[in-house]
Structure 1
Amino acid sequence: MDKRERMEALVRLLNEYNYYYYTLGEPKVPDEEYDALYDELVRLERETGIVLPDSPTQKVGAELSGQFPEHRHRVPLLSLDKTTTEAGLRSWAERVERLWAEANAARAAQGLSPLPAPVYVLEPKFDGLTVVLTYEDGRLTKAATRGNGEVGEMIFETVKVIPSVPLSIPERRGVFEFQGEAIMPRSRLLRYNEESPVKLANTRNGVAGALRNLDTREVRRRGVDVFFYHVNYASDRPFRSHREMIAFMREMRLKVTPYSEAFTDLEALLRAIREKEAERAALDYDIDGLVIKLDDLATREALGATAKAPRWAIAWKFPAVEATTRLVDVVWNVGRTGVVTPQAVLEPVEVGGVVVRHATLNNIEDIERKGLRFALGRLVRLRRSNDVIPQILGPAEAAEADPAHEIVPPAACPACGTPLEREGPFFYCPNTLSCPPQLIRQIVHFAQRDAMDIEGLSEKTAAQFVEAGLVRDVADLYALTAEALLVLPRFGAKKADNLLAAIERSKAVPLDRFLFALGIHGVGKETARRLAEHFGSFDAVFGATFEALQAVPGVGEVVAESIVHFFRAPHVRETLEKLFARGVRPQPVAKEPEPGDRPLAGLTFVLTGTLETLSREEATALIESLGGRVAGSVSRNTDYVVAGEKPGSKRARAEALGIPILEGEAALRALIEARRQGDGSGDRR
């Protein structure tokens, strides 16, 4: 056996031992034997100058340089709806079963087999950092944080040194994205805080800091581990159920979630939730709740998702942790919309492993309702809701004898001095044009990735612009010059050029993102998207009547009135005129097709290979705009497979299942035309 062969054998053997030791927790050999083999591999790598791609020696930490680039997930990672009560869970389960029944009725009408009865899977909701790992042809090639669900940070160099993360998996073909939670064990947090002069507040901060640290040795020092619970993307491997995904990840030698149990009975599920909640304190890792999800993937697909969360899953959040501390002061802050809200300043107190210094008070009526109007200086009861947001519940029982002062709302804006106005329980500053905090937050909102996407325009930079008098409304961003930027502190030529280039790129912005960027009260990303799709152009939205706006799905009286009021405001019209004069051009989108122009309604397509003129995204958009749906894998529910050049295994699977194959883009367009004509030639069944 030559040195290369010996190295390959050692890598296979040591990775096997690592799997049993770090993932299964079952050491196969004594430490001394492992160390001897490891040292031999290190020596051979030094002698030959060869380091194999999946060598365990590459998991030793080292210092890095540079920052973390962005990574776009192949499939967006949605958030979960939440409940804290049995009633909330029962309501969710009833909704799931109703949607399941409706889906089965629709399938029966189409002659399709029914979806199986709902099976609920219960798993822990880890309190760490969500990570997504990409393996291509068996090799770990990317690792990223969740980010905003669509784009995260690349943290490959730190993730690859986590002992339980394999650098390669047994499946050598295809692309896989695995979703998991990186955690720091509680025992390692205690040890770390005993040894380190800088203490960590909790395990979540510990793991997030380690994976974003430029020194990868911190990953080992903090004992970072990963539990995997979802296959986010699989290029050529369809799954039927969540349990099948878990089994596959276990086969791939990934460390899967330590608890995953299926239930058909809701009462048994609730009993298990109570049991797991009682066992929480004994775990060596933090969980802030449990996740309940449907097992069958076809049912998940049928139920779909809202803009933010899947309908087939819900998070059960554990009760909040409480403590007592003193209310030292109340400060009033100005938000982006001008609302002036109170924030409590507290004597620092530890609540659930986190030191809390501030708490939410919401508004003056909230203060009065909780009996806090004359509680300044007294002891109060504090709750850290869902392990995250601190809020004051009311005075503590022992507070009566304490000296106290009244919480008095300010008469003028704490930022600009403008007299405040009151609307119900809220005070607000009417100076929307030049109140600095409002303007700064408007700029940040306007520039964010989901809006105008002006990279590099942070809150600090926005504050610089406002303080220097360079920006008095968002339109002034498009009048900035390099000369004006270079006189600002910490603004070099490269930073100025990059920011100006980003501002220039943002001028051609999709209509939905432009509407969201304007900050219209009640118009979030989803409503902006619906407005853009319904009206097609900015002029149509701008000129829409109250009645026309109400015709948009999801737009009620309050939001419609808000939009009309917004566009009538003189300062808004002035800002819009300046934006357009300076080159901002919201890009129109295709209007929603009329009900009669949905020839692909009810059909499911799968795309494979390269089409003649359409990209994968363009083909998907075309099909969806005409009422069809595009799935990622072939199943018996697939109606057509559209095959371009160099199709993958999806074509072979379609042939095996007898699913019609459309040969290229021309065949797809022919099907669309045939179904438009209603001659039936496009019907599969």
Structure 2
Amino acid sequence: MRALIEEINRHNYLYYTMDSPELSDPDYDKLYDRLVQLEKETGTVFPDSPTQRVGGELLKGFEPHKHRARLWSLDKAQNEEGLMAWYQRIQKLIQQYNQANPDHPLPPLSFVVELKFDGLTLNLTYDRGTLVQAATRGNGTVGEGILAQVRTIRSVPLTIPYKDGVIEVQGEGLMFLSVLEEYNKTAEEPLKNARNAAAGALRNLNPAVTASRKLDAFFYNVGFSDAKAFATHEQMLEFLRENRFKVNPHTRLVHSIEEVKEELAVITEKRHELDYLLDGAVIKINDLRTREVLGYTEKFPRWAIAFKFEAEEATTILRTVSWEVGRTGKLTPVATVDPVELAGVTVQRCTLNNIGDIERKDLKNALGSLVYIRRSNDVIPEILGRATDAEDGEEILYPETCPACGSELVQRGAHIFCPNRLKCPPQLVGRITHFASRDAMDIETFSVATAEQLYQELGVRDPADLFSLTFDQLVGLERFGEKKAGNLLAAIEKSKDCDLGSFLFALGIPNTGKTTAKELADHYRSLDKVMSASAEELMQIPDIGEIVAESIVGFFADPLMRSSIERMLAAGVRPHVEEQAAAINENNPFYGKTVVITGTMESFGRDEATKKLEALGAKVTGSVSKKTDMVIAGANAGSKLAKARDLGIQVVDDEQQFLQMLGESGQ
């Protein structure tokens, strides 16, 4: 078992930290499954076993943890002038020291420029090579113990080669943007941004939640050591690498302030191509003796400074909060603010997520008050909180009845729901619009405006009603001529011959996104089998847990949903799974490969390309990771292409080459 643990941990290090796996996934799984078997047979589980990373029992609360060495905040430079002011201060202090100590002058200045991650600070304690504690930064002196949560992060080593004493290592826990994108495809409550997703996971009392978000971490400092000393920051980073910590590859050593400026320009240019959030860069003096001489102010070390990017945060006045009803009945608060320029965009609307978000950010009495807003990777910016301590604003009133239908609302956790799913207009219109959308039934020419018009004027209340519409009904509608009516009916008729996965997604099953719907279709290959599956059976499918399984079973047990499906089938809807090819030519370049498609192509759309690749035995995924074998890049490819090149993944960025590989160059 010890040999297996050492071997698996080594492969985890190569995979998650070094991006250079030596084993295929099946071979890795064999090692892992053997360890699980031995643990069951012997009843023994070692503390550093990789099987302990999945999250254990629910914790009762966070215990305070006193750091052995203080975790300092950094002074900030908002622009080049601020950076130069810091540089001139340290130069003056160094000159004063050298004049007073001519026999022991400080070495010429060199700097380390690091990325400033937008995540949650981690402080890890290792005692004789074993991870014994992990904590948040807290107030810099005392944080919260989150060892159970941090153990689920696979790039965090549970044991390290250094055994000579106690060390504290600092880093940043974060959620990669591609992981967030993948998570949100099947999440009951999509996460709004990667920073909050990481912070919420690490401060969740259920470590299984942390594990489900597949967090990562980068490390950049040894804050305390009772036996190990370093002469430079470079030496410290090399020590971290040697002990299997993940050090970000964009760290640079430079020898002048001009080179610092050049590196900052590079980071600013490339930051949106990275797969994680940044809010700036950190400049540190490399020589640790110079750091000791410069020392600290009451708040900050004098030897380091954080360079902040051009503001993606701003302050403005919160004016109103309205409540919008979605297709699931959930009410989302949407704020209007005084117009403000933010990252090149004029912002007037912001999200507030839910009532829990309003309470947590102390915004309950903030109407008319100054607030911080942030635009990161969201289309709609987010309100972060008050910009002043004054609580002199008006109260945000929580609705008691649905603003759309007047039904009495119900609260489930931090969310408010309208239970009137049969007569609440936004729910019905949203359900119909989702049903007709491209990734669902793909009814061409259909839009939200169409759904609203059909609801209001023809009494369409359920997706099944679409299949009983007639030409005479449509042609009599405003803005519906004969051509538009005929096109819509033809598109509805065409949609009847549909892919089972798309049909399941179109139904709007709670907690079931496009990926899960396809997995259901591929596994059961029959609508009847999906509808009759038990929760226990469903949970045997990879990536389907208890909550999703129960949601699926509950959906198909609902008489209203079954009636709707029966009406669709009676109208001629034929959900099916394409017959699998009797034999796939295993010599084609895509067989057994994990492929990502990004950008746009002239020859066909992404869905058609996906079908062609899957027909050749490829697995097509939505995000680039270390498991990706190939990226097909069309025009205007963005961050996925950049990440693929950073990871050294094979890229096909010529459409004619792609067609030749598909065997379609003559088409």
Length-normalised TM-score, structure 2: 0.50
Which has the higher relative contact order, 1 or 2, with Cα contacts under 8 A spaced 6 or more apart?
2
